[in-house]
Structure 1
Amino acid sequence: MLIFRLAIPSPLHRLFDYRPPVYGAVDAAPGCRVRVPFGNREVIGILVDRVAETESDCPPDKLKAALEVLDEIPVLCDELYQLTCWAARYYQHPLGDALQQALPVLLRQGQSDRFQHQTLWRASQDASLSQLASNAHRQRELLQLLLEHPQGISTDALKAEGGDPKLLRTLESKGLAASMEKRPQLPHADEQEQVLREAPLTLNNEQGAVVSRLQQANGFLPLLLEGVTGSGKTEVYLQAIQHVLEQGKQALVLVPEIGLTPQTTARFKARFNVPVLALHSGMTDRQRLDAWLWAREGSARILIGTRSAIFTPLKHPGIIIVDEEHDGSFKQQDGFRYHARDLAVYRARQLNVPVLLGSATPSLESLQNALSGRFEHLRLTQRAGNARPPKFELMDIKQQTLDAGLSSGLLARIHQHLRQGTQVLIFLNRRGFSPALVCHDCGTPVDCTRCDARMTLHRQPPHLHCHHCDRQTPIPRRCSQCGSDQLRPAGSGTERIEDRLQVHFPDVPIHRVDRDSTQRKNALERIMTEVHKGEPCILVGTQMLAKGHHFPKVTLVAILDADAGLFSADFRGMEKTAQLTLQVAGRAGRADHPGEVVLQTMQADHPMLNTLVHAGYEPFAREELRLRQGGHLPPFSHHALIRAEANRQGLAENFLLSLREWGQQYLPEHVHCIGPFPALMEKRAGLFRAQMLIQAGQRKPLHQALALLVSMMQEHPEARRVRWTLDVDPIDSY
């Protein structure tokens, strides 16, 4: 007798055996969903294999029976199933949970992998009002409505037009009406023979070389496109996709942020006559499933989505594009900690299609892959059209008096650009009014009681907010230490900058763009509409302004705290600072107006900062790679981070210490455990956190070590008191 071996969504790194359901479906194929009892609840598992009952570790009479096989054919095609299994092994994540994450939410809940059909009613072919009695007024009214809608009408629509849906069955029994099922329509499906809606732009020589190389690709081609901001990377994407569409294939485009998805989708819809669908977390579960199904059947020709879109099925795959490939949001930071960029490369190899990684500031991992020959490396060094690169200036603010972070020199420069009728962008990567509220008498700051962090002061509405655990409190009237009422803001956030700019420029519109100001639906779109009118204004914002936006009238970009990442405890701090600096700087001078970028800094002579702004990103990146190689840091070594947290100080560190002591006896050679040590923020959301770094020069011994460590952690006697996670190829701060 064969038994089912299932991957169940649970934190356990193992499979579970079940007897087949009592009625049928014993020949279900791997990848099908199966409803099973699990503990005191029912869950949806994925069939991994069918094996003889003699291969089970559990006695046959102890095996529970599966309740139901939900799919006739696997809901996960073989290609996606293999991709997810590989990702689960690579990131050392439980297979059951990984397979669930690859499915839309409704499929995880056991709903059908079919479109949700709508029941419509219409009049029968020979129906007429004369077939009803003259005094059957309500039936005649209902039939008249059906006759007016020969394509069918829903019961809700009938009711809205004054009809009585209760009488539909009566008309049906008389042969005057019939119901039918209609699947949802694919949005913006023009179904025209021509792929293009508007003519493509003329490419320069560099752009043409990239498009030509992609058109010549016959199978898998990993290509890194390094293009300065404003160099026309999106036009390259569009023309590469045009070639794919003309072959009857599909394109998958990954973008880093949900905020960029509507803009990118709008540009693709304007260019192409084919269905373009967005996939992101802002969609309802039903919308997400419908888009997934349209992609699976091949109707959706262009898919644009954030990181989870990498698990979208493609019937006719043609190309995968990862825009802003360096962006950290492609790495999932909790649960299944995959990196969508790396999965995109693996999946393109599976599908035997080109994969294009585009960025003005490529990650050092991708650059090293290009330098070593694993990726083909092409560059766009010129801005598109007549746009010229912006001019950089390091503005030394040592010993200067600042007004909420604004120097007098910068204020004068803002005045100058506004008088010219152009726009200004002020970048500060701290939201809120002030990063701290401090007692002026004793110097005590107001701390979060659940984190090792200061509470951030907000003025709209007035409150204190911890941006780490989301704790919010009213603003205290007195200091908790000395009782003084002299509590004052220290430092500046975007709200405070906005306030001060309104004082200096009372007649100029000021638009703040951060997570707080764009919470309401369509808030960001409304701000962008105002900015694109071209009138003089000032934009103040955080990272939300750094990516993908095109502001033709912005001629001055000011970065208020250019030193923020220069001395980070994270070895990636300099790389992230450089990427963010150049991405923000890229918003200046993108059209006919020359651009200027001012970086306020107290380290105007910093060698890496000078290399970045005067020589460009590639010389900076090569020097950074040289330093990384000397320090045996990624991409020249491979890391995994074990994080542990507990509700009592010391528990997490002791857990990791015992793990290290065990590992020193059994782990492969050349695999090193560094730590344990407290996290940079030891206490967060009421839990005490520690971490241990696992480092190796080669991937294979690292993964062998991680498999052993995972097995040990699951059986560790303290595992019930300590919550642990494993992050392979971590990108955030250690």
Structure 2
Amino acid sequence: MLTALIAIPCPMDHPFTYLWPFAADVKPGTRVKVPFGNSTRIGLVVSVKEEDLTEEQVADLKLRSALEVLDEDAIWDEDSWKTWTWMANYYCYPIGDALGRLLPPTLRKGEAIPRDNLENLRDFSGAVTYTPGDTSNVVTPSQKKLIELVRSAESGMTRPEMEAAGASGRVIDTLIRTGALLASRQTETALALTEEQQAVFDGIGAQLDRFGAHLIDGVTGSGKTEVYIRLIEKILETDRQVLYLVPEINLTPQTCARLEARFGDDVAVMHSALKESDRLNAWARARNGTSRIVMGTRSALFTPMPRLGMIIIDEEHDSSYKQDSYLHYHARDVAMYLGRQRNVPVVLGSATPCAETLRNVMAGRITRHRMLHRATGTSMPKLRVIDAKSMPHPDGITRMAMTAIKETLERGEQAMVYLPRRGFAHVLFCNECGWASDCPHCSARMTLHRAKGKLICHHCEHTRKAPQVCPNCSAAVVGLGAGTERAEALLVEAFGEDRVVRFDTDSLSTPKLLQAALARVRSNDPLVIIGTQMISKGHDFPNVTLTVVTGTDSALFSAEHRAPERVIQQITQVAGRSGRAKEGRVLVQTSQPFHPVLVQLLAEGYHPTLEGMVQRYEEMCLPPVLHSACITVEDRDGRTLERTLQSVVDEIDHDELLGPFPAPMERKAGFSRFQVIIVTNNRATRHKLALQMRHALKLRAPKLHAVIDIDPQG
């Protein structure tokens, strides 16, 4: 009698056994419909085997039959499937939930896998130019108006330009579909490689037929992307596929434009901001092998690619590669395991490699390739500290920085201001009675968003109208601290609205808005770019010659031991946006100019500073030297939660199980939160303790919500 183990999306740690009335050669990773409780679910086959079961045993075990096999073949190849099951186990996550989350939403519901549809190809980069074609079917006034607008443009218009002029996406799509607008992509010829680029290309290019972990450790502007492209060309010559990961959605237009200019329709894009139909079409094209390059954020890692030949992880240090909800996987680490399983090279790239990667380089597990000079021949920008202690700057930017920005604009160049806080003010405060805009649901303050007239909690999204006077004593309230909205207001007042563009998730909430903002910057007109971490990585803005870094002081005094590491990464990355085509400079605005981390960074640079931090991690036996896990448990009753956790920790009674402690944010969205920390020099011990905690909590308090974070980043 055949039985099958089926992974079903649910919070159970194990797959479920079903009778298998189908052929025995169904491969793991095939979708199947099964009865589950009083409903049916879509699961994934883990294994099929012959068992010697009697009818009585079947009845005793209450085994039910699988209902339907949905796929002709497994979703993924065998080695990828092994990687996903390893991932669920390593990150201590229920296997059914873990594997189910890897599928596109429509496939989770049991719908058929679509065939790739070349007619649905989209302009993901926003760099495609459109010119008038066959206009015989143009009938509506809005269509005619757009055709005339495009015709008036000497060399055509891009989609962001048409949308900025007021054209709706529906009208544009209709004209493209009917042939009234014809698309043409800019092509890019291969650039001559510098000596450093050539050496890196030769070094990695000689090892593309097998697994190997490589780090391209190159300064900002050293031309890492061109090396990636040359390596991709070499992989495509053997008709294999490439997975290219970037940390954030806002980096996809620029990277996609480069790839499309060299490889055309071979490129498919995968990220959460795309329409589901576009994502599903890209997924199907990759699975069928039609698209040989898949570029996207961390979730693109799970795209089925039957002829995978190389994995590229750009900005490998970036914390965005770590999923911060549900399955807390790290895309870089899972990609390394996938590369080993599929015997393909994994290429990491960064100007600021993280401590884990540096330690792997030192241990010989990763081969480092250095690029110490910029590809354009320009020198790295000079860093200078602005001591802001004695300079009033309620709007986030000192007078000295404003003067430097003014001089930059007068030269026809662009300036960039990095401020890692959204909103207008961090908090509203009453000087009379001490009232502050605390969130009623979180251990946090609500941020003032003046343009919306609202206070918003950035942790639970609770929103309320911003008061004009103190709710307690009716005195005046003031906004303390500056976010990007407040700094933008200062810059607009000083230089005019047409000279300022803001990059944060409030102002650029859709791909359309992002592409329009990038188009403004790439026009090379004099501009001030004010933004959060959206501007700190990956972008190539050749006319930016001044960067102002502010708002990083608080992280220097964080209780989290790796916060200073992220500070030096942020400063180095933001500084790298300046001076790519002509000489640039960087102003670090701080009230702590003599902090040892900043002093060493400015005097010696990023790598010696990071190496000193790694040495301290080793001396103090701190992660990532030791292996850690953080178990966060939440409930509305904080006292009962703490007692329950304490009893579980006491029951397990292990020296490497620490806590419980209140979480850094003790209350969030109305729930009290406590944490138990595991720190050990043995991964197996960490795994055992994490599972013991989860099982004990399920027995004692099954309704408690517990999240296990393996290798926490903060």
Give TM class, smaller chain: 0.7 to 0.9
Amino acid aligned to 2:342:
L
Of 224, 231, 240, which residue of structure 1 is paired with 2:222? 231
Of 671, 679, 704, which residue of structure 2 is paired with 1:687? 671
- Measured in 2, the distance between the counterparts of 1:562 and 1:660 equals 37
Of 172, 179, 193, which residue of structure 2 is paired with 1:203? 193
CA contact (8 A) 1:197 1:271 kept: yes
- Equivalent position of 2:650 in the other structure: 661
| Cα distance, 1:254–1:56 mapped onto 2, change above 3 Å | farther
- Measured in 1, the distance between the counterparts of 2:636 and 2:671 equals 5
Deviation, structure 1 residue 701: 2.2
Deviation, structure 1 residue 388: 1.6
Deviation, structure 1 residue 59: 4.3
| Cα distance, 1:323–1:345 mapped onto 2, change above 3 Å | same
Deviation, structure 1 residue 700: 2.3
1:613-645 alpha-carbon deviations (Å, 9 max, x no partner): 221111011000011111111221000110000
1:356-384 alpha-carbon deviations (Å, 9 max, x no partner): 00001111000100011110011111011
Q: Does 1:729 align with 2:705?
A: no
Deviation, structure 1 residue 427: 1.1
CA contact (8 A) 2:415 2:545 kept: yes
- Equivalent position of 1:420 in the other structure: 411
- Equivalent position of 2:539 in the other structure: 549
Matched ranges for 1:291-690 at <5 A: 291-481=282-472, 483-506=473-496, 509-592=499-582, 594-664=583-653, 672-690=656-674
CA contact (8 A) 1:307 1:340 kept: yes
Structure 1 unaligned segments of length 5 or more: list them. Answer: 120-184, 186-195
1:107-132 alpha-carbon deviations (Å, 9 max, x no partner): 2111122427899xxxxxxxxxxxxx
| Cα distance, 1:55–1:474 mapped onto 2, change above 3 Å | farther
Structure 2 unaligned segments of length 5 or more: list them. Answer: 120-176, 178-185
Of 3, 25, 37, which residue of structure 1 is paired with 2:35? 37
- Measured in 2, the distance between the counterparts of 1:514 and 1:504 equals 21
- Equivalent position of 2:700 in the other structure: 717
Of 263, 281, 300, which residue of structure 2 is paired with 1:290? 281
- Measured in 1, the distance between the counterparts of 2:427 and 2:540 equals 33
Matched residues, number? 647
- SS of the equivalent of 1:282 reads coil
- SS of the equivalent of 2:215 reads strand
- Measured in 2, the distance between the counterparts of 1:403 and 1:113 equals 55
- SS of the equivalent of 1:243 reads helix
- Measured in 2, the distance between the counterparts of 1:339 and 1:649 equals 30
| Cα distance, 1:248–1:274 mapped onto 2, change above 3 Å | farther
1:50-83 alpha-carbon deviations (Å, 9 max, x no partner): 3455579994112222221212322232122111
The 4+ residue runs of structure 1 with deviation greater than 3 A are 24-29, 51-59, 116-119
CA contact (8 A) 1:435 1:492 kept: yes
| Cα distance, 1:463–1:563 mapped onto 2, change above 3 Å | same
1:451-490 alpha-carbon deviations (Å, 9 max, x no partner): 1111111122211111110111111244233x22311211
| Cα distance, 1:445–1:246 mapped onto 2, change above 3 Å | same
- SS of the equivalent of 1:270 reads helix
CA contact (8 A) 2:394 2:481 kept: no
CA contact (8 A) 1:392 1:614 kept: no
- SS of the equivalent of 2:364 reads coil
Deviation, structure 1 residue 310: 1.1
Deviation, structure 1 residue 513: 1.2
| Cα distance, 1:245–1:484 mapped onto 2, change above 3 Å | same
Q: Does 1:265 align with 2:249?
A: no
TM-score (norm 1): 0.85
- Measured in 2, the distance between the counterparts of 1:203 and 1:702 equals 46
Deviation, structure 1 residue 580: 1.1
Deviation, structure 1 residue 8: 1.0
Deviation, structure 1 residue 414: 1.8
- Equivalent position of 2:203 in the other structure: 213
| Cα distance, 1:28–1:315 mapped onto 2, change above 3 Å | closer
- Equivalent position of 1:72 in the other structure: 72
Deviation, structure 1 residue 245: 1.0
- Measured in 2, the distance between the counterparts of 1:99 and 1:405 equals 45
CA contact (8 A) 1:75 1:113 kept: no
Matched-pair identity in %: 41
- SS of the equivalent of 1:460 reads helix
**Structural RMSD (CA):** 2.2
- Measured in 1, the distance between the counterparts of 2:539 and 2:116 equals 36
Deviation, structure 1 residue 404: 1.6
CA contact (8 A) 1:629 1:636 kept: yes
| Cα distance, 1:453–1:310 mapped onto 2, change above 3 Å | same
| Cα distance, 1:457–1:648 mapped onto 2, change above 3 Å | same
Q: Does 1:706 align with 2:690?
A: yes
User: Max radius of gyration: which structure?
Assistant: 1
- SS of the equivalent of 2:656 reads strand
CA contact (8 A) 2:376 2:580 kept: no
- Measured in 2, the distance between the counterparts of 1:705 and 1:55 equals 35
- Measured in 1, the distance between the counterparts of 2:552 and 2:365 equals 34
CA contact (8 A) 2:77 2:306 kept: no
Deviation, structure 1 residue 301: 1.1
